[in-house]
Chain A
Amino acid sequence: MPAPVSLKRRLTLWLVIIVAGLGTLLLIEAWTSARKAADRAMDGQLEAASLTIAESLQWPDGTPTLEIPASALQILATRWQERVFYWLQADNGRIITRNADLPITQVMEQQARSGPVYRDAEFEGARIRLAGREVDSAGWDTQEPVQLWVGHTRHGRDVLAGELFEKSATRFVAMVMITAALVTIAMLTALSPLKALRRTLRARRADDISPIELGVPREMQELLDTLNRLFADQRGQRDMLLRFIADASHQLKTPLAGLQSTSELALAVEDPAEWRRALTAVQASAGRTSRLAGQMLSLTRLDHLGPTHERRPLALDRLLRDIVIEWAEREASQAHDLGLAIEASTPVWIDGEAWALAELLHNWIDNACRYTPPGSTITLKLAAIGDDVRLSIEDDGPGVPADAVSRLTRPFERAQRQDTEGSGLGLAIADSIAQRHGTRLRIETCQPRGLRLYIDLSRSASPPESAA
């Protein structure tokens, strides 16, 4: 059996995975948005400088010129004292003024024509951010538009992004710690009913099957109900067992008491004929008692054999035939007309336990012989009913009163017939066997008189030819 899983460890592991996963995503997101925020802030400076320079552009005679405003350059520098760059080009490619040969491509120029453009670039080994726009203005002469590009190094952005990210990351880490602490507490609290249940169960004596009284959360209620049902079943079984033992010992006491009195009476006389009579009675009684003991053993064996069904493919018609033939040669059935009727295509295959079904048939025939008067007809039938097969026994004896039918399968129930020597266990055993085969023993009254017992079994496929 593999090592048991720890709920706590599993919860912790899941928590760690989720936090690590989500956390990494959150941190990545925080970093990206910190960078974006820093870029937005600093791009604002680029825009401001760009607009200030654009404002100073003049087209005194149609060609653009610029007296670069000093404050625009300080705006570009920002408080992080970046290195600053500017570059102005007229439409025809003539450089108006610049302080560096910025890496501005044709593509970038094209993009700047449609609106302000912000780009990262590398210049002389330094990472810079460029902002470009096309500046156009109204005037008395046609004025060529001007490409205006400004830029600065990225140091301040990185610092700002780092600061923002650090704030986010610190907040996040703090939150994770607090959450972890709270979740740990919650976990311990939530799992405490399990502990309580464990303690309660441990505190019980091993044979204590009284219901568990414990307040548990809804999710555990089902578990507790199942446990209590289990205990209830066990109590029921124990009660049944006690009843059975009580009945059994009562049943055994009676013949044994008879044996004792017969023996005592016989010992009191000196007449061998009396002794013979007494011994005959003792023999019969002993036989009955031993039969009773045998049946009680069968019944307990059936009840306590456990759920492992050892059903195998079985040719029911053959079994039936064998048993009927066996009984036909017995003395007990000589007074009766024992017959067999098979109304199904043979062979009739079912999944069953051979010994159990044989026991059932023995009980049925034995019962029929005992409880019907001599001359009665007893017929065993095997009939097909759709996919099922009905195994039944019928007699034309006196039958049983309608209200006693339901009690017949109870142990030691003899349907008010105290005149025969049956044990009262036969039908209980037969019902047990029927249950083992997934069905129940059914009892009907025949018309005009008699009793019919039957069980319905499912036919199975014929086994491979290797079966005997």
Chain B
Amino acid sequence: MKHRSPPRFRLVTWLLVGLSVGLMASSAARAATPLIIEAALDRDVFEPVLEAFAAENPRIELDYRDRSTLTVDQRARDTRDPPDVVISSAMPWQMALSNEGVAQPLDAPEADQWPAWAKWRDEVFGFTFEPIVMAYRLELASHMPPPETHRDLLQLLTDYREWLDGRVVGYSPRDSGVGYTLYQQDARYTPRVWDLVAAMGAADVHLEKTTRKMLEGLSDGRYWLGYNLLGSYAMVWAQTHPDIIVQVPNDYSLVLMRMAFVHRDAPHPEAAKRFVAFLLSRRGQHILAGQTPLFSVRDDVVGPYTAQRLRDQVGDHLYPIPINASLLAFVDALRRQAFLRRWDRELHILTE
């Protein structure tokens, strides 16, 4: 004999099912999409951009992870748990990730309009324009003519070595991807940088991993002179630490462009694309130019920190590190080994 539930009982059951489905659906709609950003970019510097994005995209929950460039690279290669967006200042490593197909193309009008020299394969985009600077303590100027060019620097290190002994700081090419890149690029332009390295070695240079550490040391008085600092951080620091002078070299100045891309296996690709497109948009670059020291790339943006302004102030000697396949040479293991061997040799060449 079949068991038949009374019609009223069945109606109630279906109503409950329908209600719970509806509730679940609406809650799913209200639940935020997470967005995982692995970035080698200080959060406090980047905060205004993140806030602006969050304000415009309330449904996206930002999960911003501030890491070292090495960690960012490792995380990007994590196949089990890939991030959505990868941002790093280590340009050669970002380029290598793109070359290995880890990045996915960004199909957005902001990407199409982005200047060709600042992007690669429409996958990875250089969205900042940070000059590489020298920094020194104010009191240095009372003892010696402050350096304005690389030649000046070499001159100081040679002529005023006693004053500067143990008081010079620079990036460690071994421990800092950015530092390594900057030295490689310097060496590409002129072999005279090795003279500088030798002079620094003779002055018992301290090698740090980050610009921040260098700036802290300068402010503490441990260092008097710093070479190849990130101008973005240095200028902000100098605003609150008036005893630090930041000098964009007059002969030539490298420019570092932080690069961002959407991961090929991003778990939330739509949100990721929205974020990167925001970085490239007029609004995003405007925030960058006005509220961060990262320098906007777009020439239709007005603010204190724009590439155009920098060019106007400094002149034609800005040499952005080129975003193209030549960067891949810097990640070559053999080339790196050869470079570091030479670095070691040159560093001690004058003290042997």
Contact = CB atoms under 8 A, between A and B. Distances in A.
Contacts of A74: 322, 324-326
Contacts of A408: none
Nearest to B334: A97
A72 B325 CA distance: 9
B142 to A, nearest CB: 41
A81 B101 contact: no
A70 B334 contact: no
B338 interface: yes
Nearest to A84: B325
Interface string A344-367: 000000000000000000000000
Given A83-B101, A99-B96, A124-B101, A68 B334 contact: yes
A376 B338 CA distance: 142
Interface string B277-304: 0000000000000000000000000000
B328 interface: yes
A77 B101 CA distance: 14
A84 B334 contact: no
Contacts of A81: 120-121, 324-325
B101 A71 contact: no
Interface of A is mostly: mixed
Contact of A68 (B96, B322, B324, B332): B332
Contacts, number: 56
Interface string A86-101: 0000000000110110
Nearest to A66: B334
Interface in A51-84: 65-74, 76-77, 81, 83-84
Interface string A111-154: 00000000000001010000000000000000000000000000
Given A81-B121, A124-B101, A67 B326 contact: no
Instruction: Name which of B325, B330, B331, B333 has the most chain A CB atoms within 10 A of its CB.
Output: B325
Contacts of B132: none
Contacts of A100: 100
Given A83-B101, A99-B96, A68 B325 contact: no
A99 B332 CA distance: 7
A128 to B, nearest CB: 11
B335 A77 contact: no
B144 interface: no
A84 B333 contact: no
B329 interface: yes
B99 interface: yes
Nearest to B99: A83
Contacts of B334: 65-68, 96-97
B333 A73 contact: no
B2 interface: no
Contacts of A71: 326
B101 A99 contact: no
A70 B324 CA distance: 10
Interface residues of B, number: 22
B325 A76 contact: yes
Interface string B321-352: 01011111111111100100000000000000
Contacts of B329: 68-70, 72-73
A65 B326 CA distance: 19
A81 B332 CA distance: 19
Nearest to B330: A70
Contacts of B335: 66-68, 97
Interface string A277-304: 0000000000000000000000000000
A368 to B, nearest CB: 115
Contacts of A76: 325
B328 A84 contact: yes
A73 B188 CA distance: 14
Give the one of A70, A81, A84, A100 with max B CB within 10 A. A70
Contacts of A70: 188, 326-330
Interface in B24-79: none
Nearest to A77: B325
B99 A84 contact: yes
Nearest to B333: A97
A437 B57 CA distance: 112
B338 A73 contact: no
A69 B98 CA distance: 19
A33 to B, nearest CB: 28
Contacts of A96: 334
B328 A73 contact: yes
B310 to A, nearest CB: 25
Contacts of B325: 73-74, 76-77, 81, 84
Given A77-B324, A97-B332, A65 B100 contact: no
A81 B96 CA distance: 13
A124 B264 CA distance: 14
A100 B100 CA distance: 8
A141 B334 CA distance: 22
A99 B328 contact: yes
Contact of A99 (B98, B99, B326): B99
B112 to A, nearest CB: 14
Interface in B196-216: none
A126 B101 contact: yes
Contacts of A84: 99, 325, 328
Nearest to B188: A70
9 contacts: A65-B334, A67-B335, A68-B329, A70-B329, A77-B324, A96-B334, A99-B96, A100-B100, A124-B101
Given A65-B334, A66-B334, 15 more contacts: A66-B335, A67-B338, A70-B326, A70-B329, A73-B325, A73-B328, A81-B324, A83-B98, A83-B99, A83-B101, A84-B99, A84-B325, A84-B328, A96-B334, A99-B99
Interface of B: 96, 98-101, 120-121, 188, 322, 324-335, 338
- Which 10 A-B residue pairs are closest in the complex by CB-CB distance? A77-B325, A70-B326, A70-B329, A97-B334, A73-B325, A74-B326, A81-B121, A74-B325, A68-B332, A73-B328
